[in-house]
A and B are shown apart, each in its own frame.
Chain A
Amino acid sequence: MNEVAIEVEAPKLARLLDATYRPTAEQAAALVRRRYARERALKLAGLTGLAIGVLALGLLLASIVPGVKAFVRHAIVLDIEFDAAVIDASGTRDPREMAKADYQELIYRALYRLFPEATGREARRELRSLVSVGAGDRLRDMVLADPSIVGSTQRVAVIAASNIDQVLKGSIDRTVPEESRVVKDRTLAVIDRLAEQGRITREWNKSFFLTGDSRHPELAGLYGALIGSAYLMLVTFLFSVPMGIAAAVYLEEFAPKNRVTDLIEININNLAAVPSIVFGLLGLAIFLNTFGLPRSSPIAGGLTLGLMTLPTVVVATRAALRSIPPSIREAALGIGASRVQAVLHHVLPLAMPGILTGTIIGMAQALGETAPLLMIGMNAFIVDVPRSPWDAAAALPVQIYIWADSPERQFAELTAGAIIVLLGFLIVMNGLAIYLRRRLERTW
């Protein structure tokens, strides 16, 4: 093999050694052509890679664009009579009693008044199915904010039911035959009449951002998952970053170079590549079964994700520390600083941009992680917004997973909406990483 290589190379070598060798114009032109061809090939390969990347990104964005529909919803404007007999039968205006009243009934009455011809049981049921089962909450909030409206009639926009919203958004095809359509002809006619009267409005879907999960897509929100994710990130950060940086500083600046530290180093590097589901099992065994942390809680989830992020932080911190020129340490030691002072006052601050970038990328990874959370029971339907890391909570990626698996049609839209929010969250985190790196960066 070697001999062949030398044989081929020999004439070239001879040419190089021969000071008098001059290629002919033809040879030189061929050489130049070859060089350009290689350059073009390299550029082409690069461009192809880039094009595939851009295409994939484009497809991803195109597929989540329908998610913006989740940010608006339809409401039906009705003339609600705030009947004192329903809201406040005892006449005491006691807020606790008024909070429990059947506001849904007020909405149904307004609908029956609007469509007096619908008298049968089935027809009335169809009318009731126009509005969301959570529509009455708005009336309750109005009454509690201003009890003087009891007894009056007000125009209120109440949230439409999911299927109605889907018809108005065009996600339910009106042209398919009635028997295979979720929304029947009679209901469509009612919707059209409401639209003619200008009683259908679009509004900003506040509950998508301000409430927890729900089985009713028009009421389901991301807030519980957002708070859950925030708690998760907090616990992950507190657990992995101080410990990771401390471990890296020790390994890089203080530890003796011997077999033990070599072994530790290899292990940490390998740990960074362990599949996340394995950390989930570890979290299940340690945090739930041994320590008895509550299932589905951000504290258990955060510690699990922290275990997963720890090696990433250690590796990134070590790389950042290694990139600081030894002259910095030596100068500090030379003017009498102790080793701890040299590290804490000089090396660590200079390494900060690198450490932060690595940490934030590790955290962003943890934010998008689902598999380990499934193992510790965060794949759950949780309505209440968590008030501490010990409460049961969902997380953004898990919420996406749950919605994607729900049969009701509108959840597809919500899934895409939640993906947009998650991507936004990630962009903010990565943006922060870039900003901090720019700000703290130092050149020598």
Chain B
Amino acid sequence: MKRLMLTATAVAVVAVAGEAMARDQIRIVGSSTVFPFSTAVAEQFGRAGKFKTPVVESTGTGGGFKLFCAGVGESHPDITNASRAIKKSEYEECVKNGVKDITEVKIGFDGIVVAESKGARQLDLKIEQIWLALAKEVPKDGKLVANPYRTWRDIDPSLPADKIEVLGPPPTSGTRDAFVELVMDVGCQKFPEIKALEAKAQRAACQTIREDGAYIDAGENDNLIVQKLKANPKAMGIFGYSFLDQNRDALIAHKINGVEPTYDNISSGKYAVSRSLYFYVKNAHAAVVPGIREFVAEFTSDKAMGPDGYLADKGLIALPDKMREEVRNRAANLEPLTM
């Protein structure tokens, strides 16, 4: 029996080795924020019937680059999604492993919203107020002290007297990276005490989020945050615009720096807390795995990522017309990224 199993396993391994050489299905990994958009395009692409539907895996932006940059060959993914641009270190890792030509495709914007359950008063938060509410240490009387603020009113008398309770993404999430970059790093710059610090200490002071229970890691699942907000009307949540869009009847988003997170405001760049979304293509695979060029063409078509495209229905905020045209041309030629 044992020998039989061993033989069977050996045969299986050999069979697989043969199979793996002939991949005819695009493999995509990467950001969970881009996942809903990437899958919508994959499905549409498969529906046309010429190619197999690509397999899209949600690994997070960082995890996606790790897999993507591991090498060229059919056991490595062809495309990775990212909710931020590739870092220099990631690019170098790619080149080191022989993944030399990568095409960057910007697909649109995503706003990060601070929202509360319906029924709450819409607030107008300033970025520095959010920073004061969430930073671990804040300046007081010229010194950095452990964050003393318990309620929003402690920060500013015009804000309600509700306890500071914010549900947000964990450190592994691309949404968290973007939130830190767009809110925490910006908010802290308003304080001379922080500006006076040397670069490294300044970074730490700006980016460290308090750990006394006022900020709650709610996991990668944005839906969970939405559910928790419905159950707890006093709590606020931080998540992507697409989730707000789908839950407008239950949630209300606060203004940030006087601007409401609407499609138009994010698209025009008025809303401060928005980021670009990308995907990256491994050029070396385009000639080997069938359908990569066609998939890129489908993704960058106006039917998909245009302002009236089906990705807009899923909550993606389209790029301005000119930029879209530019992205489309560069993507069609698979112009490699230089860094």
- What is the interface of chain A, defined by CB distance below 8 A to chain B? 100, 125, 133, 172-173, 176, 179-182, 214-216, 238-239, 242-243, 246, 288, 291-296, 299, 377, 379-384, 390, 392, 402, 404-409, 412
Contact = CB atoms under 8 A, between A and B. Distances in A.
B5 A239 contact: yes
B43 A214 contact: yes
Contact of B16 (A180, A390, A392, A408): A390
B20 A405 contact: no
A215 B243 CA distance: 15
A368 B42 CA distance: 27
Interface of B: 1-2, 4-5, 8, 12-13, 15-17, 19-20, 23, 25, 27, 29, 32, 35-36, 38-40, 42-43, 46, 49, 52-53, 55-59, 75, 118, 220-223, 242-243, 245-249, 252, 308, 310, 314-315
A337 to B, nearest CB: 20
A73 B23 CA distance: 37
8 contacts: A243-B2, A246-B2, A293-B20, A296-B55, A299-B12, A383-B46, A405-B223, A407-B314
A47 B257 CA distance: 58
Contact of B248 (A180, A292, A295): A180
A215 B314 contact: yes
Given A292-B20, A383-B43, A406 B13 contact: no
Given A215-B36, A381-B55, A382-B55, A246 B1 contact: yes
A182 B16 contact: no
Contacts of A172: 249
Given A173-B249, A390-B19, A407-B222, A380 B56 contact: yes
A151 to B, nearest CB: 25
A407 B35 CA distance: 11
Contacts of B49: 100
Q: Interface on chain A toward B: helix, strand, loop, or mixed SS?
A: loop
Contacts of A296: 55, 57
A296 B23 CA distance: 13
B221 A404 contact: yes
A392 B55 contact: yes
Given A407-B246, A409-B246, A384 B46 contact: yes
A254 to B, nearest CB: 13
A141 to B, nearest CB: 14
Given A180-B118, A292-B75, A392-B25, A406 B36 contact: yes
A100 B308 CA distance: 24
B31 to A, nearest CB: 13
A418 to B, nearest CB: 15
B174 to A, nearest CB: 14
A407 B12 contact: no
A180 B13 CA distance: 55
A304 B161 CA distance: 52
A140 to B, nearest CB: 11
Contacts of B310: 133
A292 B314 contact: no
Contacts of B308: 125
Contacts of A383: 42-43, 46, 53
A293 B39 contact: no
Contacts of A381: 35, 38-39, 42-43, 55-58
7 A-B pairs with least C-beta separation: A380-B57, A383-B53, A381-B39, A381-B56, A407-B246, A215-B40, A392-B55
B73 to A, nearest CB: 10
A125 B247 CA distance: 21
Given A292-B20, A407-B222, 17 more contacts: A125-B308, A133-B310, A215-B40, A288-B75, A291-B16, A292-B16, A293-B20, A294-B75, A379-B57, A381-B43, A381-B56, A383-B43, A383-B46, A405-B223, A407-B242, A407-B245, A408-B246
Contacts of A179: 248
Contacts of B314: 215, 407
A292 B43 contact: no
A295 B27 contact: yes
A427 B252 CA distance: 42
A294 B13 CA distance: 10
A402 B315 CA distance: 18
Contact of B249 (A181, A243, A292, A379): A181
Given A246-B2, A379-B57, A291 B118 contact: no
Contact of A180 (B242, B249, B315): B249
Nearest to A384: B53
A246 B29 CA distance: 40
A100 B46 CA distance: 13
B33 to A, nearest CB: 11
B1 A215 contact: no
A390 B17 CA distance: 11
A246 B294 CA distance: 51
A157 B43 CA distance: 24
A380 B5 contact: no
A149 B23 CA distance: 40
B16 A294 contact: yes
B19 A294 contact: yes
Contacts of B12: 299
With a 10 A CB-CB cut-off, give which of B52, B57, B221 has the most chain A CB atoms.
B57
A242 B20 contact: no
Contact of B223 (A133, A239, A404): A404
B5 to A, nearest CB: 6
